[in-house]
Amino acid sequence: MAASSSRGRSSSPFHSRKPSSPFSSSSSSSSFKQTVPQSSSSATTFYGGSGNGHGSRSGTLGRTTSDSMYSRGGYGGGSPVGYPSADEMIDEPIDDISRAAGGDSISVTIRFRPLSEREYQRGDEIAWYADGDKLVRNEYNPATSYAFDRVFGSFAETHEVYDVAAGPVIKAAMEGINGTVFAYGVTSSGKTHTMHGDHTSPGIIPLAIKDVFSIIQDTPGREFLLRVSYIEIYNEVINDLLDPTGQNLRVREDAQGTYVEGIKEEVVLSPGHALSFIAAGEEHRHIGSNNFNLLSSRSHTIFTLMIESSAHGDEYDGVIFSQLNLIDLAGSESSKTETTGLRRKEGSYINKSLLTLGTVIGKLSEGRASHIPYRDSKLTRILQSSLSGHGHVSLICTITPASSNMEETHNTLKFASRAKRIEIYASRNKYTENKMLISLSHALKTCILQIIDEKSLIKKYQKEISALKLELDQLRRGMLVGVNPEEIMTLKQKLEEGQVKMQSRLEEEEEAKAALMSRIQRLTKLILVSSKNTIPGLTDVSAHLGSPSANDGDNGTLLLHSDIQNELISSNFSAADSSITESTQMGEVISGSARGAKLLTGGLSIDEMDLLVERVKMLAGEIAFSTSTMKRLVEQSANDPESSKTQVDQLEREIEEKRRQMRALEKQIVESNEASISNTSLADMQQTMMKLMTQCDEKGFELEIVTADNRILQEEWQNKCAENKELQERIMLLEQQLAMADNEKSSTSLEQHGSKEYIDELRTKIKIQEVENEKLKLEHVQILEENSGLCVQNQKLSEEASYAKELASAAAVELKNLAGEVTKLSLENAKLEKELMAACELANTKPGNGGSRKYDAIKPGRKGRSGRVKDAYDDVDRSNSVIKERHVSDVPQTAHGSNARDEGEGGELRWEWRCKFSYIRQQQQCFFLAGILVCVNLVHLPALNVQFAGPRLQIEFLLSLLDICSTSLTMKDD
């Protein structure tokens, strides 16, 4: 199914196929224009970055033709924000030559991706944001903004981007206008996500493929032939992703433009079929990881869809051809991308080619007919035709809002802004003479001629036979007139031999004819026509990703040309007629494709299997045909041995080659079948397992529900039992009441009143009683609730009370100890008093001491003990206040201000004793206070309980008082 690269340039996806087109010239500079306004009459719109921040939304953009506006608003002063009007978007096919007065600009779309997990963790902020759906604005410098055809925020879906940025290009490509959609951006900005996507969110490429097939379905008047190719540019080397042997391909250039030599093309019949080639190609694509992206694309990839179409039958107006390039570029890498070795080398190649792309875009946007360095990179060489205005171009720039990538994003925006200014002149390609179709026509004509040739052979043989018959008749007649019987016998033999030969020849010819018809039929299948049968959706076909390419052989891709069809239809071969008509009109292809959406578990889709089988059949037919031709040649070789020999040899080689191909294909089919069988059993087992597990889960879930139900029922049952019990009690009560009432009734009222009214009254009473009972019950319940609340409270209080008691008993013990100490101190006090008195007496008895006054002052019996102690206290107080006034001196002061040492030993002693008295007095005061507090605590606990927040608080308060007391005691001690 692969279209051979050896077919030459006509099969190249990058080959400009319209030599007559004014845009196919290799000198491209003439086919684009600068969109920068040269005069005020220019229709181009420019946004000048008004600097009023968020106010400048798309809806408020003013149109101006002022050149001065163009230079304003750039980041860092100078980056332009000019853009042509978004309503110049390419969404309508353009007739032969696009707008005479001016071309389209490249459509530029910006797509933000959300902050990645990594960026969040790094604390990145939003540096760029989408301001409306046309502007990108800088968060830190709102005056810096860029305007584009469309800006998609972080949460836009790929299909929305597709509808705006790719849909119109694909639609135009189906009508004969070349198209290129490419994603550009720094590494990890979301290019591959946008172009390829994944199962949950298909990218632009799968969506485009789906769209192409649905357009075919919606175009009943035309028939299509689709081929795909897929290449990568890795380290400036072009590799064929559909053919691993196609490495280091070369870009060639001729008068019609650039093309890649030796590229492999595959005919595709369904979306799944096309996606399977992409998946196969992706297997060979170079991917590596860097610090930004685990699966970073290390190469630029170009997926090309070649579309040929023509109108049916009488409507036939030639074939139009277009090609659609869907490009996923590798991401530019900055110094922040940590790479080493191979990755660094890859990165430098990537950057170099992107730089060249930037330069080319820059030059094209300048609009001057200067040298454009397309040749500086393979990428720009391949894109030359697209960029120089041969078709629609849609650029999708993917960016990250992260502040850490602010500068890189800014560069992308500048690039996009420049690209926006390139003007293109897209035109529809139309081929009245299409090489592909011509070769196709030749192939089918050969088939038909072969059939006709066979037919003439039959005629020849028939002629021979009739000649022989005639001869035989003559001989018979001659016999009658006396001819040699031997001669008659020879003739008869000849005739019989001729008849046998003719018979076998006829049979062979029939076989060959059947083979040819089958070939025609198969070729016809390659044509895609609109059908009401459904083309498999992408949900089915996404399963194809990962399945290998089906066809390795090269059968020379052919399309059934309408002329040939007509020729065939008008010929005598009714079988061919009917089969072709059936196959084309009944839409066998699409139904085949629809079947093809189903995957065989062995890896090949049914579609692909079908194709393989078809191919084998075709080869078998061809072998049969070649064999019969060879036989004929062998027979003829009697007349012309020389020329026949070479032909026979060639045919033998062909037959051998075809047999080899057939064996290879059969092997592939058998292997695929085996794989499918083994995979089927594995898949069956997996399926059964999955089913069982699902069932298990379901059962578990059901069990849980039933258990929960049971619990609820049990609770309900218990409630009902309780209610029942209550009711029974109530019934008993009522019965008792009734019995009492009956008694009453029987004893008194019945006779007295004997009326029904009395019974009613009683009943009412009973009812009232019942209501009261109910009320009482409710009250009872309430009381019970309150009671339980109180119990809880009580419990708490009792806990706290016991705690308080413990504290109080501890305090009592402490108090007791303190009291003991006080007693001890009192005794000591008395002792000291005695000693003091003795000392005083001793002092007084000393002659010339002049101490009579002091002696008088403390003389026992004159003032009594308490009076003396009081005096002593007063003295100590006075001395204390004096001591406070002293700073450094360690010499004690007397109450009179004189130095104690001056007063001699007696003065010192007195001072010491006075201090001790004072200390004791303070201690006593504290103990007294502590005692009072403890008593208060014990006695007034309930009262304080009310005053304070809680008993614990109160006790803590008392304890802190005690603490203060003991602290003051300690201080006194010190």
Ligand X SMILES: Nc1ncnc2c1ncn2[C@@H]1O[C@H](COP(=O)(O)OP(=O)(O)OP(=O)(O)O)[C@@H](O)[C@H]1O
* Residue at shortest CB range from ligand X: 331
The verdict on whether residue 27 carries a ligand-binding annotation is no
The verdict on whether residue 946 carries a ligand-binding annotation is no
Question: Which is closer to ligand X, CB of 300 or CB of 615?
Answer: 300
Q: For the CB of residue 509, give the shortest distance to ligand X in the complex, in Å.
A: 59
Question: Which is closer to ligand X, CB of 191 or CB of 420?
Answer: 191
Q: For the CB of residue 582, give the shortest distance to ligand X in the complex, in Å.
A: 46
Residue ranges of alpha helices (H) inside 88-137 are 117-121
Question: Which is closer to ligand X, CB of 291 or CB of 925?
Answer: 291
Question: Which is closer to ligand X, CB of 114 or CB of 548?
Answer: 114
**Of residues 168, 161, 165, the one with CA closest to residue 197:** 161
CA torsion, ordered 78, 84, 86, 92, to nearest 10 deg: -150
Q: Which residue has the tokens 């042509």?
A: 84
**Of residues 83, 116, 77, 108, the one with CA closest to residue 405:** 116
CB crowding 876-894: b at 16 or more within 10 Å, else e:
bebbeebeeeeeeeeebbb
The verdict on whether residue 570 carries a ligand-binding annotation is no
User: Residue 570 burial (CB < 10 Å; 0-12/13-18/19+)?
Assistant: exposed
- How far from 683 is each of 65, 123, 219, CA to CA, in Å? 66, 46, 39
Q: For the CB of residue 400, give the shortest distance to ligand X in the complex, in Å.
A: 8
Q: For the CB of residue 112, give the shortest distance to ligand X in the complex, in Å.
A: 7
Q: For the CB of residue 152, give the shortest distance to ligand X in the complex, in Å.
A: 8
Q: For the CB of residue 254, give the shortest distance to ligand X in the complex, in Å.
A: 33
Q: How far apart (Å, rounded) are the C-alpha atoms in residues 910 and 857?
A: 13
Question: Which is closer to ligand X, CB of 301 or CB of 530?
Answer: 301
Ramachandran region, residue 861 (left: φ > 0; alpha: ψ -120 to 50; beta: rest) = left
Q: How far apart (Å, rounded) are the C-alpha atoms in residues 968 and 952?
A: 24
Q: How far apart (Å, rounded) are the C-alpha atoms in residues 229 and 605?
A: 19
Length of the chain: 974
Concatenate the DSSP letters of all residues of 878-895 into one string: HHHHHHHH--S--SPBPT
- Check: CB of residue 161 under 8 Å from CB of residue 109: yes
Q: How far apart (Å, rounded) are the C-alpha atoms in residues 4 and 263?
A: 8
Q: For the CB of residue 591, give the shortest distance to ligand X in the complex, in Å.
A: 36
Question: Which is closer to ligand X, CB of 180 or CB of 192?
Answer: 192
Q: What is the amino acid identity at position 599?
A: L
Question: Which is closer to ligand X, CB of 113 or CB of 519?
Answer: 113
Question: Which is closer to ligand X, CB of 294 or CB of 586?
Answer: 294
Question: Interface residues with ligand X (CB under 6 A)?
Answer: 113-114, 116, 185, 187-193, 293, 295-297, 330-331, 398
CA torsion, ordered 615, 618, 623, 624, to nearest 10 deg: 150
- Check: CB of residue 108 under 8 Å from CB of residue 86: no
**Of residues 830, 857, 859, 838, the one with CA closest to residue 906:** 838
Question: Which is closer to ligand X, CB of 137 or CB of 191?
Answer: 191
User: Residue 120 burial (CB < 10 Å; 0-12/13-18/19+)?
Assistant: exposed
Integer distance in angstroms from the first to the last C-alpha of the chain? 110
Q: Which two tokens stand for residue 332?
A: 């530019």
The verdict on whether residue 189 carries a ligand-binding annotation is yes
Q: For the CB of residue 285, give the shortest distance to ligand X in the complex, in Å.
A: 10
Q: For the CB of residue 180, give the shortest distance to ligand X in the complex, in Å.
A: 18
Phi, psi of 256 (to 5 degrees): -90, -5
Q: Strands 287-288, 135-138: parallel, antiparallel or unpaired by DSSP?
A: unpaired
Question: Which is closer to ligand X, CB of 8 or CB of 114?
Answer: 114
Q: For the CB of residue 187, give the shortest distance to ligand X in the complex, in Å.
A: 4
Q: For the CB of residue 173, give the shortest distance to ligand X in the complex, in Å.
A: 24
Q: How far apart (Å, rounded) are the C-alpha atoms in residues 600 and 671?
A: 12
The verdict on whether residue 691 carries a ligand-binding annotation is no
CA torsion, ordered 398, 403, 406, 408, to nearest 10 deg: -60
Question: Which is closer to ligand X, CB of 396 or CB of 426?
Answer: 396
Phi, psi of 221 (to 5 degrees): -80, -5
Question: Which is closer to ligand X, CB of 99 or CB of 199?
Answer: 199
Question: Which is closer to ligand X, CB of 410 or CB of 615?
Answer: 410
**Of residues 937, 578, 73, the one with CA closest to residue 62:** 73
Q: For the CB of residue 398, give the shortest distance to ligand X in the complex, in Å.
A: 6
Q: For the CB of residue 545, give the shortest distance to ligand X in the complex, in Å.
A: 16
**Of residues 137, 113, 170, the one with CA closest to residue 52:** 137
Residues with Cβ < 8 Å from 705, sequence gap 6 or more?
A: none
Concatenate the DSSP letters of all residues of 552-566 into one string: -S--------HHHHH
Q: For the CB of residue 295, give the shortest distance to ligand X in the complex, in Å.
A: 6
**Of residues 392, 370, 374, the one with CA closest to residue 383:** 374
The verdict on whether residue 192 carries a ligand-binding annotation is yes
Residue ranges of alpha helices (H) inside 299-386 are 341-366, 378-385
- Check: CB of residue 920 under 8 Å from CB of residue 930: no
Question: Which is closer to ligand X, CB of 37 or CB of 185?
Answer: 185
**Of residues 199, 211, 205, the one with CA closest to residue 543:** 199
- Check: CB of residue 192 under 8 Å from CB of residue 201: no
Question: Which is closer to ligand X, CB of 193 or CB of 910?
Answer: 193
Q: For the CB of residue 331, give the shortest distance to ligand X in the complex, in Å.
A: 2
Instruction: Tell me the binding residues for ATP.
Output: 185-192
Question: Annotated binding site, which residues?
Answer: 185-192
